[in-house]
Amino acid sequence: MTDCMNEDWARLCRLLDDDPQIVAAVSQAVDEPWLVMIEGLDDAGALAYLEPGDTGAQLADALAGLPRVFATAVDLDAVGDVDSDLATAVAVANEMLDEHGLALVYLEEEPDAYPLVAVSADDTEEIVALAGRLGHVARTH
């Protein structure tokens, strides 16, 4: 990786989670730093790993275990009540999390995966831009 790419990867990892092991693993990645980063977020407990067909109940359960969401003590019952589709449940969750300065960011991976990370709402634009600059897709809903 070039120095600029290393700086972008390091910055992206720090915006997504404060675990220094993620930055270290990504900086040493040979082939797929994006997948290494997602795996590191999952290992750190910072990733809500869902499937596109999941509902609000699965999202609420996954979000409850994320440290940043847990720290807010937000009541996720309204998210769990969404039976229609995951995108609607994510929108409800984002509305609730916004009151606490957080937002969910989707990190594109496999077609049957729906990885979400809770980040500072102020950092979402930079996260999306960095991911794009690195050739990957991160988006808010």
Measured in degrees and rounded to the nearest 5, phi and psi for residue 117 equal -130, 140
pLDDT digits (tens, 9 = 90+) for 64-116: 999 999 999 999 999 999 988 899 999 999 999 999 999 999 999 999 999 99
Instruction: Look at the block and give the residue holding tokens 């600029």.
Output: 4
Provide the residue range defining the domain that includes 101.
Answer: 3-139
Q: pLDDT tens, 5-32?
A: 589 999 999 999 999 999 999 999 888 9
Answer yes or no: is pLDDT of 3 > 90: no
pLDDT, tens digit, 9 for 90 and up, residues 29-68: 888 999 999 999 999 999 999 999 999 999 999 999 999 9
pTM: 0.93
User: CA 92: distance to chain centroid?
Assistant: 16
Q: How many structural domains compose the chain?
A: 1
